[in-house]
Amino acid sequence: MSALSSPNLFSKVEARWPLKVLGAVLAIIGVILIIGGAQLVLLGGSAYYLLAGLALAASGGLIFTGRVLGAWVYIATFILTVLWALFESGLNGWALVPRIVAPLVLLLFVIGLFPALDRFDGRKRRLQGFAGIGIFVVVLGLAVAVTNRSGVLSPVPDAKNTLAFDTAAAAGTEWPTYGGGPSAQRYADLNQINTGNVKDLKVAWTYRTGNQPDKWGAETTPLKIGDTLYGCTGMNEMYALDAATGKKRWSFDPKVPDNAIPYTAACRGVAYYKVPAAMPGTPCAERIFEGTLDGRVIAVDARTGLACSGFGTGGQVRITDGMGKVIPSMVAITAAPTIVHGIVITGHQVQDGQYKWAPSGVIQGYDAITGQLRFAWDMMRPDRTGAPPPGETYTTGTPNMWTTATADEQLGQVYLPMGNSAADYLSGQRRPAEKMYSSGLVALNVDTGKPAWVFHTAINDVWDYDQGSQVSLVNFPVGGQMVPAILLPTKQGDFYILDRRTGKPLTEVGQMKAEVGGVEPQERSPVQPYSKYQNVREKDMTEASMWGMSPIDQMICRIQFRKASYKGMYTAPTLDRPYIQYPGYNGGSDWGSVAVDPRRGVVVANYNLTPNYDQLLTRKQADDRGIYAVGDPRGTHKGGAEGAGPQEGAPFAINVNAGWLMPVTGMLCKQPPYGGIRAFDLTTGKTLWDHAFGDARRNGPFGIPSLLPITIGTPNNGGPAVTAGGLIFIAATTDNQFRAIDIRTGKTLWQVTLPAGGQANPMIYEQNGRQYVVIMAGGHHFMKTPEGDYLIAYALPDRK
């Protein structure tokens, strides 16, 4: 037999190939870590990656040449990695994932190829193999143990009822306003579905709305009046459904053109108005109002769906009258109108990041019967309460209200969560009135059209921390008496309680230090307000809180962190380097708002914990990147992430990485959780329970779903509703799940997979003695959830 045909030699040659592949992989990883680790050290960061890279390069080289020492070098490196990971992040399971999991997988291959390394006798080989396997099992057990360790608070008993319960403020058999009842508490005083039987919920009916455009995100919460549900599609087609069966009764299509779609084609809801009994014979005695993406307020007959011809012109008014020339998609109404004292009040979205002198943010109120303009609040013209005279326009560039207002019929006030001035990330061109009202909660007297008070949650905001949440009206105990109050959630994660008559805080407000720097140091305040009552913020980010799917992308995120400016939540915008905003503009609470259980005195709030990675750009940098505003003939740029854009007319453009995503893997640089849900006592602000919210089944690197039902805490968009049955109903997360949660403990009692993303608020009602829970499963392009057109009602099995 020749040497070439020797079985012993052939098996040795064959065994070398896996070793060479493993050695090459380890060496390549080592070189990458050496290069990145050296850069990180020069930036003042951790030396681990450089040292680990050197060890892996050496280990890979030794294994490539078949030397067993290479395996021992890797095993030693892995053990030191575990010790370093525990030292840096403790027993935080998610923090350990990028530090340990990928090295653990490589360890498995090293142990598996241990017997093929070098030429040892069988006894030594077995001893070394068992030693390596023993190390592997011990470390694996440690990693699994800490990764599965829970970091949530312990559940506590149900809160006591300390508030005077006002049945007029709650939804019951009906859901008459976008926020449930007139107080926008998103509470239904129904208990047919409760913690004991919610597991039996089944689909009662499904309505397919159709009409989903490219930039989908319906976000719809229907109303229930009498025996009918009223809703709207993302393109503003209104519809009426039988509340018991979901069968369509009528629809009305306002024929909104596609070029009117702003950032998202969304219609969050409609409003209902009944003509007073003192006005008999008025056509359209019951009316459904909606605002459209092309800036119209439309009234239709609630019974027939036909336009109310006596309202405005042919059943509609245009909010863009008096704004001058408006580029399509720049002005859009996405929130439900608010009606108080017979006045239909609407704000509107002005597309972010495009023009400093964008169309006005004027707030307008129309007579609910005639459509006549009752007031127009242009903050730069306090002397006027109506439309501008011929040849003039409402003041451009002023803050707008893009979300949903709340009204107090008795006080005659409407509470306006205001957005930011155009060119969100710069304030040097703002006028005094803009600074007074930008990103503030404004109480407007609806009979005069003039502001009564304003409360700020950020001073001279350049972080897009506008007021996104609809406020809730509550009774709050002060000195043994119940005071009419407002619960105000914010994007910063704070919750404030204000006297709704005066705007004065009823709970303690503190001041935190803030950076005075960036491109406009003279504009930055050295302090910013925060709530001492309740907030859902984490501690400031650090290099150690960077994440990824492996040590390599975690290292890249660490490098990005070190390159950026970051001095806490109010880091000033910079031009010379990126800056980190945490929480980002999707942080804390947004348009989904919160829910209040007034019987238990409990507030339920879902929230986001995601950062932004931003940088201002010079005009030349923006031009070189082809970043032009909507309507600019030089390009077709339509804005990237919300808030990013050219800011034409301002000194600088802005580039925003919303969520701080890695460019290749699509993973977030911040470690989980990215979202949570919390319950707290309304009277004291004490947290009752707090859990990460949403699982990883649809999350994964490169956009590939992991399919793992592991709670990771996903970004979420949409809000909760609560019931007298002790349940929280909420979708919102990126995992397409619709959940029922026990309000006492935060435990999920029921969940179902929706056919599309549930980025909408649920609503609850009763019809013919049967309780229903309804959610819009329309998906959302920004949240990267699949699109759909499903309005789904759930109920207990019909016992008839």
Which has the closest alpha carbon to 500: 598, 603, 416? 416
Full 3-state SS string of 413-465:
EEEEECCCCCCCCCCCCCCHHHHHHCCEEEEEECCCCEEEEEEECCCCCCCCC
Using a 10 angstrom Cβ sphere, with 0-12 exposed, 13-18 middle and 19 or more buried, the burial of residue 434 is buried
Closest CA relative to residue 419, chosen from 359, 346, 514, 347: 347
In terms of DSSP bridges, do strands 187-188 and 721-723 run parallel, antiparallel, or are they unpaired?
parallel
Q: How many CB atoms lie within 10 A of CB 13?
A: 10
Q: How far apart are CA 466 and CA 437, in angstroms?
A: 11
Burial class of residue 390, CB neighbours in 10 A (0-12, 13-18, 19+) = exposed
d(CA 603, CA 685): 9
Nearest to 795 by CA among 28, 197, 252: 197
Q: How far apart are CA 574 and CA 425, in angstroms?
A: 10
Angle formed at CA 388 by CA 384 and CA 390, multiple of 5 degrees: 145
Task: Map residue 484 onto helix, strand or coil.
Answer: strand
User: DSSP 3-state assignment of 705?
Assistant: coil
Give which of 371, 365, 209, 221 is closest to 284, Cα–Cα: 371
Cα–Cα distance measured from residue 620 to residue 379, given in angstroms and rounded to the nearest whole number: 33
CB 268 within 8 A of CB 336: yes
Which tokens belong to 188? 């239904």
Among all chains, which residue has been given the structure tokens 């306006």?
416
User: Is residue 798 annotated as part of the catalytic site, yes or no?
Assistant: no
Q: How far apart are CA 678 and CA 589, in angstroms?
A: 11
CB neighbourhood size of 106 (10 A)? 18
Amino acid at 88: E
Cα separation of 194 and 724, whole Å?
Answer: 8
116-152: buried (b, 16+ CB within 10 Å) or exposed (e) per residue?
bbbeeeeeebeebeeebeebbeebeeebeebbeeeee
* Identity of the residue numbered 474: V
Cα distance between residue 133 and residue 136, in whole Å: 5
* N-terminal to C-terminal alpha carbon distance within the chain: 87
Distance CA 76, CA 789 (A): 55
* In contact, 530 and 457? CB cutoff 8 Å: no
Q: Work out the number of other CB atoms within 10 angstroms of the CB of residue 88.
A: 16
In the set 189, 352, 464, 735, the catalytic residue is 464
How many residues are given for the chain?
Answer: 800
CB under 8 Å to 51, separation ≥6 — which residues? 37
Fill in the DSSP letter of residue 217.
-
Tally of CA atoms within 13 A in the half-sphere of 644 that contains its CB: 20
* DSSP conformation class of 623: H
Query: Strand (E) positions, 631-686?
Result: 653-658, 675-681
Instruction: Check whether the bond before 529 is cis (ω within 30° of 0).
Output: no
Token duo for residue 768: 């013919």
The CA distances from residue 185 to 138, 343, 800, in Å, are 51, 22, 33
Place of tokens 């001893």: 127
Looking at the annotation, which residues are catalytic? Answer: 464
